[in-house]
Chain A
Amino acid sequence: MWIRKDLLGLEELSKEELELILSTAESFKEVSTREIKKVPALRGKTVVNLFYEPSTRTRVSFEVAAKRLSADVINIAAEASSARKGETLIDTGRNIEALKADIIVVRHNASGAAAMLARNVNISVVNAGDGWHEHPTQALLDIFTLKETLGRIEGLKVSIVGDIAHSRVARSNIWGLAKLGAQVTVCAPRILMPPGIEEMGARISYDIDEALHDADAVNVLRMQFERDEQKAFPNQFEYLEAFGVTQERLKKAKKDIIVMHPGPINRGIEMSSEVADGANSVILEQVTNGIAVRMAVLFLVAQASDSRKTEAHE
């Protein structure tokens, strides 16, 4: 049973909770194949997408998910305030609560922002990515896609390649995959490998070929060369050379290795175009599955709030 008000990360979830989200997503996936792609599950509910970082993909995915559940959706593109100027995140959250919204989907550049918001409002908060901390629905859709493609998670070898240090996608994937029994390898240049990652349940590799060898799936992270730490590579082509996932490298891996990417792809940097568009890629399936997973998450947190309200009335 799902009793959480919020979904803030995968670290705090149990295996059972993860499985519940995945099975709920499975039943919602069918909705998107119907002529009328709508169920009344969240009719009369309001979902607010509060985005402090521009992210069309994630925002649109949440919006479509909410609408297919018949919820009303409001999008707010907010600007993060500096410490002493502008409305604080807590004030913004309380204002949204006062509008009688039911769920806030929040994307923020500060790690812990979703947790802080959730502590200060009574309505549900879904983390759509906070700083480098977690991006739970992305990892859930990655895991959903893996399970759909390969039939299981337990025992799978999954490699995550890229800037692990600054990746919320990597962290959520490590927690989720490890709990469900996959063997996770993280692969990054040394300066982009954060400390303590093995204690989170992942194996470290600094060699992309080694990380791909034997892997059932590889999740390739987006590189952002505007970060200082990523400037260690003089240019993006050297990164492709050293850590990029190319057709030549895939030839040495398992024939049916699954290739994933959270998007948007930097073609020719972390991944070559042939790989992105090739037979091993499930990148577009990930986008489709994102809807089902987000429908499941919105549905579960809304249901938990409803049952809390009924209890309060009894």
Chain B
Amino acid sequence: MNKNNKILIKGGRLIDPANKLDDIGDILIGAGKIIQVGKDIKVNSSLVIDASGRIIVPGLVDMHVHLREPGRKDKETVASGTKAAAKGGVTSVLAMPNTQPAIDCPENVRLLKESIKNSAAVRVFICAAVTKGRKGEELTDIAKLKKEGVVAISDDGSSVDCDKLMLKALSKAREEKVLVICHSEDKGLSKNGVVNLGLTSTRMGLRGISRESEYGRVKRDIFLAQKSKARLHIAHVSCRESVELIFQAKKKGLKITAETAPHYFALTEDSVLGYDTNMKMNPPLRGKEDVAAIKQGLADGVIDIIASDHAPHTKNEKDIEFEQAEFGVIGLETELAVSARELVHKGILSWPQLVEKMSLNPAKILGINKGTLSLGQDADIVIFSADKKWKVSEDNLVSKSKNSAFLGLDLPVVVEYTVCRGEVVYSDEVYRH
């Protein structure tokens, strides 16, 4: 489709939290931008999408995605990962830097940018490493990385253990106005653990990962953020104590934001009892009280955003003994559906609140101009049916890896169109013109 052609989306429920909009209406797209929002727009356009009975929202922004490039194209590529994003209604992703090699220097950023330019179906923003090789020893050159367009830094997969180094990283990040994202885990406590510590680890005869290994480190990271006055984002919150600590930190006015992933509010540790390695992730699935606290945290605004922590792994890395299998699950294609099922359908969040958590808030946290349907805005838009159902199966996942925790489940929310930069990057067959 020609970029300059106009697209008219008609008669859908427009939800745009940034403009406090939740109403039936039309959107006109031209030259990759939103050029009109309103009722009964009448104009000649090359494509008219009838969105009646559908919900129209700004494209989702997923700020925790492992695209695996460079180095592990067997798990996922920029091409396959962004295709999965488009199918899930995600138009912007933040690519995490735990690649091979790690994104820890301008050369490696350029390497990734080249691949993005050639093959990305949606927008890809880059998160670079905090330390060289993610070893927790020597800081990367944050200023130079920023010049290459990096929007955040993280050693995701690990936490920077050394307090002094972490403080230095936060101070430097503050000067450069770069966001720091923490994978808060004290590996001294969680080492070799594979499931939640407690009855589950005992029943399964596996080493446990304590809640303390997470919230102890969350506590430290908050303390260091306070000391450095840096902006800090805490990734994949999984336990109730972390939620409480973040609540207290926000009450004090600290610039802390927090994230959780759909599996932490949709599943409990009971799901792992059958040794299904698609239920193995880090942090691990926790207890019922934790799930309740995460949901409450989302409702109260303590947890600002939902991200998938999309972590593709090959069958060879998952179809082995539980303790040897890799940590992580894919999530780009299921996050909207699972969140709708667990949060909107259960009355924990309204649709506008969910859109805020999955689009506007992550855009704000990353400081990128996304997540709204404002006039003149880049046309990143998703149209979905909230009532239709689909079954998650290996066959209908487009991600290169199939390690979903939701295989076999019937989910609501079928994404029908994903528009990125004014172009349809995904459409569900029935509606293809």
Contact = CB atoms under 8 A, between A and B. Distances in A.
Contact of A195 (B197, B317, B319): B197
A111 B197 contact: no
A113 interface: yes
B321 to A, nearest CB: 4
Given A90-B319, A110-B323, A195-B208, A11 B275 contact: no
Contacts of B282: none
The prevalent SS among residues of A at the interface is: loop
B320 interface: yes
A278 interface: no
Interface stretch (B144-152, B199-207, B386-394): B199-207
A112 B324 contact: no
A132 B316 contact: no
A196 B201 CA distance: 9
Contacts of B274: 115
Contact of A110 (B201, B202, B316, B324): B324
A196 B199 contact: yes
A199 interface: yes
A194 B322 contact: no
B24 to A, nearest CB: 49
Contacts of A294: none
Contacts of A131: 205-206, 323
Interface stretch (A27-35, A68-76, A81-89, A299-307): A81-89
A88 B205 contact: no
Given A112-B275, A130-B205, A133-B205, A199 B316 contact: no
Nearest to A167: B205
Contacts of B324: 82-83, 110
Contacts of B321: 80, 89, 108, 110, 112-113, 116
A142 interface: no
Assign chain B's interface to a size class: 20 to 34
Contacts of B275: 111-112, 115-116
Given A195-B201, A196-B199, A196-B200, A88 B320 contact: yes
A195 B205 contact: no
B382 to A, nearest CB: 37
A195 B202 contact: yes
Contacts of A113: 321
Contacts of A67: none
A195 B198 contact: yes
A118 to B, nearest CB: 10
Interface string A277-310: 0000000000000000000000000000000000
Given A89-B320, A112-B275, A116-B275, A134 B205 contact: yes
A110 B322 contact: yes
A59 interface: no
A111 B322 contact: yes
Interface of A: 11, 80, 82-84, 88-90, 108, 110-113, 115-116, 130-134, 165, 168, 171, 194-197, 199-200
29 contacts: A80-B321, A83-B317, A83-B324, A89-B320, A108-B321, A110-B321, A111-B204, A111-B205, A111-B206, A111-B275, A112-B204, A112-B205, A112-B206, A112-B322, A112-B323, A116-B322, A131-B205, A132-B205, A132-B206, A133-B204, A171-B202, A194-B201, A195-B208, A196-B198, A196-B199, A196-B200, A196-B202, A200-B199, A200-B203
